[in-house]
Structure 1
Amino acid sequence: MGAPDGRTPNGAADPRPREIRRGQRVATPAYWRRADHAPSCRDRRVTPVAVVEPYADLARRVLAGPPRLGRTRLVAVDGPSGAGKSRFATHLADALAALPGGGRPPLVHTDDLLDGWDDQFTFWARLEEQVLAPLRAGRAGAYRRYSWVRREFLPDVVPVPVGPVLLVEGVSAARAKARPELTLGVFVTAPAPLRLARAVARDGPEILPHLRRWHAGEEAHFTADRTAERVDLVVDGAPGLPHDRARYYVRLP
């Protein structure tokens, strides 16, 4: 049995995860509140800032909210690259599909709509024309995915049916222009070194020059847009808290 402070009798950290109850506040390092801030000694104070919450409750919250994009509830999952947006959006889609009578909502990744590295934020007109405008009018949308290998849009069309919920995941998905039609805006954050390491592990070191320019563009956009201040929910994309990540997420203040 571990000691009360979570360490084994010999003083080592107990490797066994402790169960975190739903809605429980936990003590986390205060520097976790800032994704791009490297911790210094003076930052290592401990403050209760994080809450573990279930995706199932968030799914119910979404369905209880008003549809603002025609008959559809639009959920935007935003945040810098490598923060964990795709994972969060997928788990929320799973939770929505698991509700009684619920179907799996379409999930649009904005990376699929970008016309290469130089289209970091200017893709929005494509999303608006092909997906948002049709749904706003009560019609199904459709788009073609961009191939980052072939550097062109693929011929196959991806349908986006009219439904109760649409999830849009990607950098700038919760931008100011989208907010009037959002039922829920989410910002997923994680420390910059970890985000960079995740992206390189996923896509290879050859993308580093593009990625550094990309990260600079993200930082400028989020500063100007003040996205993290204006969304409904900020999520820790690199939580150190023991929990079932398929069923729960960690909310930050």
Structure 2
Amino acid sequence: MSSGPNWPPATGGGLDELATRLARLAPSCGPVRLVGVDGHAGSGKSTLAARLSALTGGAPVLHLDDVASHDELFSWLPRLTEQVLDPLSEGREARYEVYDWSNRTASGTRPLPPAPLILVEGVGAGRRALRPHLAAVLWSELPRKTAWERGRHRDGPELADFWQIWMAAEEAHFHSDPTRPHAHWLVRQSPEGRVGFRVFPGPAGHPRQQVAPDAP
């Protein structure tokens, strides 16, 4: 995506500024600005998406953990396309199946209105096949090993076996389909959680802005 005019770099800015910039992006999926929030498992993506949602007036958050499953850790794209991308691209409400990780089965469906801004959060949110539908890609900037340590501590010993499977799958995914080189912004969180977030330009540069109606 190309840089828009008069789009100054966000060198170390905070989430307030980023939220404002996200609201100015050009729509990317029909009338919707889809923003991918990607990063390693345990890197703080859910917290980041929740903060951005609050700062943007309640932008809906689609958690990819609800879309993935034990059998489809990363092969959920066809369902996401059919249940979410296709209806949103036509300005219609989406409705997607939600997976219950405890019972290993679908637990019903969840509506997703074609809001002006929707945050897609989860490992793989910035994958190659999704990027044409995304207005911007954010990368939760935390080293893989640190993120995985946080994730394993969060989930506890009962999920230790699953984490062994997950780490191998995630490593294979990012090896073949890396997101960070395509991120428009990198977001770093204080390890102690006291300072908050800092936002830096990503390797992909600035995403496309909304063009004003009176622009030439």
Q: Please give the range of the TM-score, normalised by the shorter of the 2 chains.
A: 0.7 to 0.9
Aligned pairs, number: 194
1:252 Cα offset (Å): 6.8
1:97-147 Cα shifts (integer Å, max 9, x gaps): 1xxxxxx1110100011122x311101111111111100011100123211
Residue 153 of structure 1 is aligned with which of 106, 130, 135? 106
**Counterpart in the other structure of 1:120:** 73
d(CA) in 1 for partners of 2:128 and 2:187?
19
1:201-247 Cα shifts (integer Å, max 9, x gaps): 3222122222122122222222222311111012224546962x2xx
1:173-226 Cα shifts (integer Å, max 9, x gaps): 111111122111011132334323322232221222221221222222222223
Residues 1-253 of structure 1 mapped to structure 2, 5 A cutoff: 52-97=12-57, 104-116=58-70, 118-155=71-108, 157-239=109-191, 243=195, 245=196, 248-251=197-200
Distance 1:124 1:239, change over 3 A: same
Q: Tell me, what secondary structure is at the counterpart of 1:218?
A: helix
Q: Tell me, what secondary structure is at the counterpart of 2:78?
A: helix
Structure 2 contact 37–120 (Cα < 8 Å) conserved: yes
Distance 1:227 1:193, change over 3 A: closer
d(CA) in 2 for partners of 1:139 and 1:133?
9
- One-letter amino acid of the counterpart of residue 170, structure 1: G
Q: Tell me, what secondary structure is at the counterpart of 1:159?
A: strand
- One-letter amino acid of the counterpart of residue 158, structure 2: E
Distance 1:126 1:66, change over 3 A: same
Q: Tell me, what secondary structure is at the counterpart of 2:13?
A: strand
d(CA) in 2 for partners of 1:151 and 1:226?
28
Q: Which structure ranks higher in relative contact order (CA pairs < 8 Å, sequence separation ≥ 6)?
A: 2
Distance 1:145 1:137, change over 3 A: same
User: TM-score normalised to the size of structure 2?
Assistant: 0.81
Q: Tell me, what secondary structure is at the counterpart of 2:88?
A: helix
**208-217 or 166-175, which moves further after superposition?**
208-217
1:78 Cα offset (Å): 0.6
User: TM-score normalised to the size of structure 1?
Assistant: 0.70
d(CA) in 2 for partners of 1:215 and 1:191?
13
Structure 2 unmatched runs, 5+: 1-9, 203-216
d(CA) in 2 for partners of 1:193 and 1:148?
24
1:82-109 Cα shifts (integer Å, max 9, x gaps): 0111011111111101xxxxxx111010
d(CA) in 2 for partners of 1:154 and 1:242?
36
- One-letter amino acid of the counterpart of residue 169, structure 2: G
